[in-house]
Structure 1
């Protein structure tokens, strides 16, 4: 029995491997690479957060927690969401602690979708939304956004994609990979469409703290939107806690209960030591977080200016930690550009089409890298562009 493909689920077989991970198989085979690819802070988790985890282990916290997560963490999440987005969530039944935001999104899609339901997904977007919809037996529907609009989701484009099967809208702002944001007015312009078509919103706010021009606004804070919005957030980006794999979902108790039901049978609970660390992050992590965000903002300006100066037109990102320059002037496809840049100049960036077909002709460059690496990468990219002129 050498070929087991016939035994695999059709939905799993229909999903392509992650465009990010597929590309980075090449990175591991190349010496001296400067990586602007992986969306991960180059900061180590602040020591006081690590220390809280170590102390919890010394105190014997190595057991399961409740399925929903530690009560004290859910209380801190409640306080945090109230002070940052102005929405109150009851710790007892409106908050679920998950293994990263990725699990929270997966749980929400599985809890909400019937076979054939449509999930509206602004593109370019994070790579897991469409496969997550497929694995929940839904149909992902791309809703294109454009650099000319600063990658905001336009109401007329959204309205044109809605059908009787539309059920869920994912709002991934601040956006990975584009760095686009949605202002309060942008979100208000969507509310009538959402309510009229009875959509549930999954608002992925993992980059909410990384908004450089104005305070992040959650659509859950707008009138009439709290009950039909699931707010997803976590600790990976703003607190430099990617490997801790800790996130959460906030929303209507009926939906949170359904998500918790799936969570208890598949994951049971997030690791207690990561939850203890997250409590410390929310209670005492503000100062270190603000320092890291200030550094990201400096690097953002450096990379944006540098890319434009070497001839790659780039929208100025307003959130997250990515630039999304156009490489259309080179005549190369996104994948060809990235592969040749890696092989010739040892710089790793991600092809734009990894984030949906509307990302073709662009590349994603992560500026959560050191200033020295950003400057050297820009020099190497300039060399590469000179070679292909």
Structure 2
């Protein structure tokens, strides 16, 4: 696919920059920001259908919006999971009633979602989920535990992959359920404190939580097919926006290296140039594959590239900082919280980049089996 921006795209870019500049004034809560985006029609640009309060634009303009949003320094999106994961999944697999119920509040920025996939014993091996959902009249009772659930502490709803057929194994007997989070005594959310001191991720415990039977997506027992369809939406336009953020981080590291003399070291200078060249390569690869649904390996290749690249940037940031990167602020005391600087946060958080969102090992297996056609890895009796 040849990908490029035309004159009308650049007019759209000017509109986007102007709107973001006018709106990004003062402090506002994350929910208030989502509602502001929804009120202006900026949520759901990439949905394959309109008519739910969103507006559709071309693929190139979706890229323009994502890139300019990243450049503007606008708040991290709380509505990303609902807009970019759940909504396309409902459009592909949901009933008309489900689309009418859930898509408009997402488009308005009024309802936030989280993803109930990973479990303590089923992270990269998603087919090993044990969370169970038992039919109870016109509802299901959900019992089990999910982990690494991004933004669960803010979410109104969770889409949950659960086992509805007792005794089923692996990909069989799974169902995709839409579960309301406001169920005191039946759902407990426990934030997970990370190395960075922040808590974007959570453990979620379901103890007989109720999900309506009408909120099963794709039919009972078809959860694996729906879940895999959702993961296909996980990467795409957002990858290009992510690279804008990466470029900003790299720029800060380069400026620090020049300012403190680290760039005088030829080894450091070579690593800085390599990071820049690899980032450009990732962008060209993303543009080449964007919109090419036939390229089954593209998402896995992209994840392998950016995960390791970002880890290497964190390591390089520490090398550029030198000994100063290993110590806290001068006014630190045992009685005060430890404050990480931007480079320390980058280094610590990026250690997980090759694990979350599909580990490197899983991505290589996907490429080997589904793209290169190599023999599948030997699996146990349940595989």
**Whose radius of gyration is greater, 1 or 2?**
2
Identify whether the pair has TM-score above 0.5, normalized to the shorter chain: no
Task: Provide the TM-score with structure 2 as the length reference.
Answer: 0.22
* Length-normalised TM-score, structure 1: 0.22
Instruction: Say which structure, 1 or 2, has more relative contact order (CA 8 Å, 6+ apart).
Output: 1
